[in-house]
Amino acid sequence: MSAEKPSRRQFFKKALHLFWLAPAAWLLSGLVRRTEETGEIRERTVELPLESGEAVRFAEEVILIRVGNDYRAFSAACTHMGCRIQRMEGEELVCPCHGSRFNMSGEVLRGPAERPLARLRCEADERAGVLRITVRA
């Protein structure tokens, strides 16, 4: 029993299918990639009391800094490898893992981190007495 050898016509017909299949697979993979990328961006809101009397607050994934009547919110995730920053030394925010330091504007004072802390959207709702901070989940 021997397998029949495909004719030249059959061979080119199969090759033509592969010719169309490759770009279609490439387009489909790009569509899936884009869907995954947009699906990962999820936001949630953290509410903190408006008045606490503290100039700097560490609230889980948020660092909140009061400057006069304004507030600056930063992600507490260190931009080096993501350790959570939860303490200060003097006027500097200090990462517990490898010692990066950031100023009150989130800028790097000392590495190994190279990028500033991520600034978070922060809105005061004086009627409700809260600050609403948008964090990425």
Neighbours of 86 (CB within 10 A): 14
**CA gyration radius for the chain?**
27
Least distance CB 113 / ligand FES (angstroms): 5
- Comparing CB distances to ligand FES, the nearer of 94 and 104 is 94
The alpha helices in 41-92, defined as continuous H runs, are none
- Comparing CB distances to ligand FES, the nearer of 84 and 132 is 84
Rounded Cα distance between 101 and 124, Å, is 28
- Comparing CB distances to ligand FES, the nearer of 107 and 123 is 107
Least distance CB 41 / ligand FES (angstroms): 23
Least distance CB 95 / ligand FES (angstroms): 3
Retrieve residue 122's tokens: 């922060």
Neighbours of 84 (CB within 10 A): 15
Residue ranges binding ligand FES (CB under 6 A): 78, 80-81, 83, 95, 97-100, 112-113
